[in-house]
Amino acid sequence: MKQNRKRKLLIIINNFLIGGVERSMFDILSRLDRDKFDIEIATVIGSGPLESEFRSLNFPIYLLGQNIDQDRSLFDKVRWVILAPLTLLRLVAIIKRIRPDLVLTSLYQAEILGMCAAKISGVKERIMIQSDAVELPMIRAFFKRSLSLRLSTKIIAISNTVSTFMVKRWRVPISKIKVIYNGIDFEKFNVTREPRDILTLGIVGRLEKIKGVDIFSQAIVKLKQDYSLEPNVLFVGDGSMRKSLEELMDRSQLKKVQFVGFVSNVQEWLTKIDLLVIPSRSEGFGLVMIEGLLTKCLVVASDIPAFKEIIGEKNNMFFPTNDHNALSKLLAELLVDTQKRDLLRKDLDLWIKTQSNRFDIKETVKSYESVLI
């Protein structure tokens, strides 16, 4: 009996920076059945801190384009645009040489160049992962609509929130979209912890405006000014707002605040946090939220659709998006009221028992394999 050959996949991503998208991609690729798939990876904006972890998977990796931080400066953005045609040509050459059955892209720059290169090279199956529900500036929106969305043959949305956004905002046919939640390795985040008398607040992720880190920092300042509370605070992550946040903490004479920077061992730092705050202005999913819940953190989050999709509409953990006053009030109540903490802890324990299995990485990988096979 003739054995079916492996499906050759080319994964095209921006780079190997430390972020939720990159971590999710690593978790998926490391678990795909190697008897079914032959995988190669290309980046369009160089490398990043996670390169060594991706190389440990022993997949061929092609580093294309320059190492450019898209969030930092106008010069870097212009330079990337100027170099994009050369990166596209290199990508086309790689695709024609390795002849993949399917191209899978993730994040804006990778999807634009990846879809174009795959179409030029005659790849029939072109799948993009949509990880956010964010409005784009006019020019970026034009390229997304006319290139990545038009040239893709299927779109994987990481939540129903993202799927709804794609249908309403981009007029993508629902038949073209497959919803697959990002998954979590439950064994890695399954910890036991005892309640502590002295609580530590924390935020985990990129220190960028869209993540609401300014809302969190203003709430911390208000805790001291209005409630005479100065808890231990951890900022776990890095980004363009770090300097301004550090300056605000210094001006406010908050001495119990620590900026940790980027970390690869997120689960270890989550165990140091008792009250995890997720004040994002927009998200396509809530990877850190689920990780926090599984590590038994008490979680407080902005009331955006993606978070409500994960935890449910009615929960005491939400505060109005962009409202640092409401966040500060909620944090003050949780810091001083043990009964309120116990009530929230019961809600989160119930969620773990009844709903968390939806986000098991094993289920995520099964869903991806069914799409990629």
Beta bridge partners of 37: 7
Residue 1 has pLDDT above 60, yes or no: no
Q: How confident is the model at residue 3 (pLDDT cuts 50, 70, 90)?
A: very low
For the residues 28-47, what does the mean pLDDT come to? Answer: 97
Per-domain residue ranges of the chain: 7-179, 188-357
The per-residue pLDDT for 25 is 97
- Residue 43, phi then psi, degrees to nearest 5: -115, 150
CA angle 35–154–5, rounded 5-degree value:
20
Single-letter code of the amino acid located at 282: S
The per-residue pLDDT for 73 is 66
Residue 42 contacts residue 72 (beta carbons within 8 Å): no
Q: Would you state the CATH architecture of domain 7-179? A: 3-Layer(aba) Sandwich (3.40)
CA angle 110–24–90, rounded 5-degree value:
25
Residue of higher predicted confidence among 345 and 314 = 345
Rounded CA separation 75/83 (Å): 12
Residue 240: how many other CB atoms lie within 10 Å: 14
Tell me the longest C-alpha to C-alpha distance in the chain.
Answer: 75
The per-residue pLDDT for 72 is 57
Q: Which secondary structure element, helix H or strand E, spans residue 219, and what is its range?
A: helix 213-227
The per-residue pLDDT for 62 is 98
For the residues 262-278, what does the mean pLDDT come to? Answer: 93
The per-residue pLDDT for 71 is 53
**125-134, pLDDT tens digit by residue?**
999 999 999 9
**137-188, pLDDT tens digit by residue?**
999 999 999 999 999 999 999 999 999 999 999 999 999 999 999 999 998 8
For residue 153, give the 3-state DSSP assignment.
coil
The per-residue pLDDT for 202 is 98
Burial 205-216 (b: 16+ CB within 10 A, else e): bbbbeebbbbbb
Of 263, 233, 266, whose CA–CA distance to 248 is shortest?
Answer: 233
Rounded CA separation 245/255 (Å): 13
**200-254, pLDDT tens digit by residue?**
999 999 999 999 999 999 999 999 999 999 999 999 999 999 999 999 999 999 9
For the residues 1-16, what does the mean pLDDT come to? Answer: 84
Q: Which secondary structure element, helix H or strand E, spans residue 130, and what is its range?
A: strand 125-130
CA angle 366–369–370, rounded 5-degree value:
90
Residue 137: how many other CB atoms lie within 10 Å: 7
CA angle 361–367–370, rounded 5-degree value:
140
Residue of higher predicted confidence among 6 and 68 = 6
For the residues 25-32, what does the mean pLDDT come to? Answer: 98
The per-residue pLDDT for 68 is 65
**64-122, pLDDT tens digit by residue?**
987 765 455 677 778 888 889 999 999 999 999 999 999 999 999 999 999 999 999 99
Rounded CA separation 343/101 (Å): 51
Residue 105 contacts residue 128 (beta carbons within 8 Å): yes
Per-residue DSSP letter, 144: I
| 188-357: in CATH 3.40.50.2000 | yes
**340-358, pLDDT tens digit by residue?**
999 999 988 899 999 999 9
Residue 197 contacts residue 230 (beta carbons within 8 Å): no
368 HSE (CA, 13 A, CB side): 28
Rounded CA separation 45/35 (Å): 30
Residue 288 contacts residue 212 (beta carbons within 8 Å): no
The per-residue pLDDT for 154 is 99
